[in-house]
């Protein structure tokens, strides 16, 4: 979808208030998704967006609005500072959530002022995606939409040998807290009770809310193909006698589980392979030491963090993108690989389970660490010796990516908007008619 695109002439343009803590037109992950949603929704409705100011996003957004005048007419932004969440979360997670709650309290005060001035048709709590902070828009007497929401998935604790002792204890505590918060967090319950439209980002998150809270939802994956054309990949139609190029990308933290892939490729006796590793993080040194112990470090290139386009070139040049992450929502990098025509091998878990199908990749059942490593090795070995299957999956990957275009997703969200307004009006009329 072009940035300057317009909605259908038949569309009734609503006045919509959006709270999106993370929005950035030039970044990936949650800030990039926030921008994607705002840009796509503005093709159909006029938006007032309350956003967190961090990482230079205000300057980048204002520059984009100047460049694309149509966007500037459709979207009005209101910024105030938001603390560095990832940094604070590493130091002391409760401190981060306290500051983040305070940011939402301030956002709500601004929302009340804007509502008095504008009179919105609908309010939308967009991101951050995690359900733990639903904000306060639900307090406004307006049709209220929340989502896409995620954050209910947990790392399978039976993968302790992959995580390491310290990380296992961290995830054990996180699983316990997640269990309690999903059931008893009071503002989550209030937001769900008030939501006229509730959207989850994965089918397992939908199932979790339905089971624990009795709240059903519409599932809309919040990732999509990049709006920029993917760099051209090299020819993947060659025979299987060359070097099989594998790619992995992500933050080097325990839940990303790169050791599963390292141990799997160490088992490949009859395959010439090379692994490109994009990213870095707290566990980089440990994972490089593991590659040395396994005797495979000479087959690996550790790129560190790369500019987005350079990272995409690395992924697009691969024969397979292998992603054994134990905990994700809808990883952007998986969608980027698919849009570049790179088949994905991943776990049948979290958001990957919804996105990857037999026509674009292979999903490994979540069993035990030992069995999963064996299955990844067997799958890579099989695909290395069957270039025709890789070719088929490559074509399917490009087709699959189109299923998650922004146009497709935003039209699903527009249906949520329409249903939310109908439900709201129905309740208002019923209340008026009550004795």
- Whether the Cβ atoms of residue 157 and residue 175 lie closer than 8 Å to each other: yes
- What pLDDT, on a 0 to 100 scale, did the predictor assign at position 237? 43
Residue that the structure tokens 């999509």 belong to: 224
- For 295-329, give one letter per residue: b (16+ CB within 10 A) or e: ebbebbebbeeeeeeebbbbbbbbbbbbbbbbbbb
Distance (Å, rounded) from C-alpha 128 to C-alpha 139? 18
Same domain, yes or no: 212 and 296: no
Instruction: Assess if residue 5 is contained within a domain.
Output: no
CB 125 within 8 A of CB 136: no
**227, 405 in Cβ contact below 8 A?**
no
303 and 180 share a domain? Answer: no
Task: State whether 82 and 58 are in the same domain.
Answer: yes
CA 148 to chain centre: 10
Residue 355: its pLDDT value, please? 94
Domain boundaries, position 315? 244-402
433 in a domain, yes or no?
no
Q: What is the distance, to the nearest Å, from the Cα of residue 32 to the centroid of all Cα atoms in its chain?
A: 10
pLDDT recorded at residue 27 = 82
Instruction: Verify that 102 and 83 share a domain, yes or no.
Output: yes
Identify the three-state secondary structure at position 65: helix
Round to whole Å and give the CA distance between 146 and 386. Answer: 45
Q: Are residues 377 and 409 in the same domain?
A: no
What pLDDT is attached to residue 318? 97
pLDDT at site 55: 85
For residue 170, give the CATH number of its domain.
3.40.50.2000
Give the C-alpha separation, 396 to 402, whole Å.
10
Tokens 């570049």 belong to which residue? 340
Picking from 379, 376, 88, 415, the residue whose alpha carbon sits closest to that of residue 219 is 415
Distance of CA 145 to the CA centre of its chain: 19
237 in a structural domain: no
Is 310 a domain residue?
Answer: yes
What is the predicted pLDDT for the residue at 238? Answer: 44
The answer to whether residue 303 sits within a structural domain is: yes
57 and 137 share a domain?
Answer: yes
pLDDT confidence of residue 177: 87
Same structural domain for residues 76 and 165?
A: yes
How far apart are alpha carbons 259 and 123 in whole angstroms?
Answer: 43
Answer yes or no: do 173 and 288 share one domain.
no
Helix pair 332-339, 387-402: axis angle to 10 deg: 110
Residue 228 burial by CB count (10 A; 0-12/13-18/19+): exposed, middle or buried?
Answer: exposed
Spell out the residues 6+ positions from residue 429 whose beta carbon is closer than 8 angstroms to its own: none
Residues 39 and 126 in one domain: yes
Contact by Cβ (8 Å): 114, 78: yes
Decide if 236 is inside a domain. no
Element (H, E) at 76: strand 75-81
Residues comprising the chain, all counted: 435
Cα(181)–Cα(184) distance, integer angstroms: 5
**Element containing residue 248 per DSSP (H, E):** strand 244-249
**Could you give the number of structural domains in the chain?**
2
Residue 347 included in any domain? yes
Q: Residue 152: phi, psi to the nearest 5?
A: -90, -15
173 and 214 share one domain: yes
User: Are 137 and 172 in a shared domain?
Assistant: yes
Same structural domain, 338 and 373: yes
pLDDT tens, position by position, for the chain (435 residues)? 546 554 443 458 999 999 999 999 988 778 888 999 999 999 999 999 999 998 899 999 999 999 999 999 999 999 999 876 555 455 556 667 788 899 999 999 999 999 999 999 999 999 988 899 999 999 999 999 999 999 888 888 888 888 888 888 888 888 898 889 999 999 999 999 999 999 999 999 999 999 999 999 999 988 766 644 455 445 544 444 589 999 999 999 999 999 999 999 999 999 999 999 999 999 999 999 999 999 999 999 999 999 888 999 999 999 999 999 998 878 889 999 999 999 999 999 888 999 999 999 999 999 999 999 999 999 999 999 999 999 999 999 999 999 988 999 999 999 999 999 999 999 888 875 544
Residue 431 falls within a domain, yes or no?
Answer: no
């Amino acid at each position: 979808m072009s940035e300057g695109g317009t909605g259908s002439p038949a569309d009734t343009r609503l006045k919509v208030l959006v709270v999106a803590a993370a929005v950035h037109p030039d970044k990936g992950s949650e800030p990039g998704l926030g921008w994607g949603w705002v840009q796509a929704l503005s093709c159909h409705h006029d938006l007032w967006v309350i956003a967190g100011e961090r990482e230079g996003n205000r300057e980048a957004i204002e520059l984009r609005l100047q460049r694309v005048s149509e966007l500037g007419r459709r979207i009005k932004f209101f910024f105030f500072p938001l603390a560095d969440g990832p940094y604070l979360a590493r130091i002391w997670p409760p401190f981060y959530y306290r500051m983040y709650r305070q940011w939402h309290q301030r956002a709500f005060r601004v929302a009340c002022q804007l509502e008095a001035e504008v009179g919105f048709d609908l309010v939308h709590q967009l991101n951050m995606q995690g359900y733990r902070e639903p904000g306060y828009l639900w307090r406004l007497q307006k049709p209220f939409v929340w989502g896409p929401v995620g954050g209910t998935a947990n790392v399978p604790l039976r993968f302790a040998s992959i995580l390491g002792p310290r990380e296992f204890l961290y995830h054990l505590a996180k699983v316990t807290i997640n269990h309690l918060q999903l059931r008893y967090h009071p503002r989550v319950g209030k937001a769900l009770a008030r939501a006229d439209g509730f959207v989850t980002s994965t089918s397992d998150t939908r199932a979790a809310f339905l089971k624990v809270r009795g709240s059903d939802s519409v599932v809309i994956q919040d990732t999509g193909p990049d709006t920029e054309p993917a760099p051209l990949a090299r020819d993947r139609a060659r025979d299987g006698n060359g070097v099989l190029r594998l790619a992995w990308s992500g933050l080097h933290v325990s839940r990303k589980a790169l050791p599963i892939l390292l141990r799997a490729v160490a088992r490949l006796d009859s395959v010439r392979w090379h692994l490109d590793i994009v990213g870095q993080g707290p566990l980089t040194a440990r994972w490089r030491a593991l590659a040395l112990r396994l005797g495979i470090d000479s087959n690996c290139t550790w790129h560190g963090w790369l500019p987005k386009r350079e990272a995409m070139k690395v992924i697009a040049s691969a024969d397979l993108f292998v992603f054994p992450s134990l905990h994700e929502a809808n990883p952007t990098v998986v969608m980027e690989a698919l849009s570049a025509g790179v088949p994905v091998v991943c776990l049948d878990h979290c958001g990957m389970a919804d996105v990857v199908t037999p026509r674009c990749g292979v999903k490994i059942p979540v069993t035990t660490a030992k069995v999963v490593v064996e299955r990844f090795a067997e799958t890579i070995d099989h695909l290395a010796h069957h270039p025709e299957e890789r070719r088929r999956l490559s074509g399917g990957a490009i087709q699959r990516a189109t299923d998650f275009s922004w146009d497709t997703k935003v039209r699903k969200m527009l249906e949520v908007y329409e249903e939310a307004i109908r439900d709201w009006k129905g309740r208002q009329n019923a209340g008026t008619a009550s004795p």
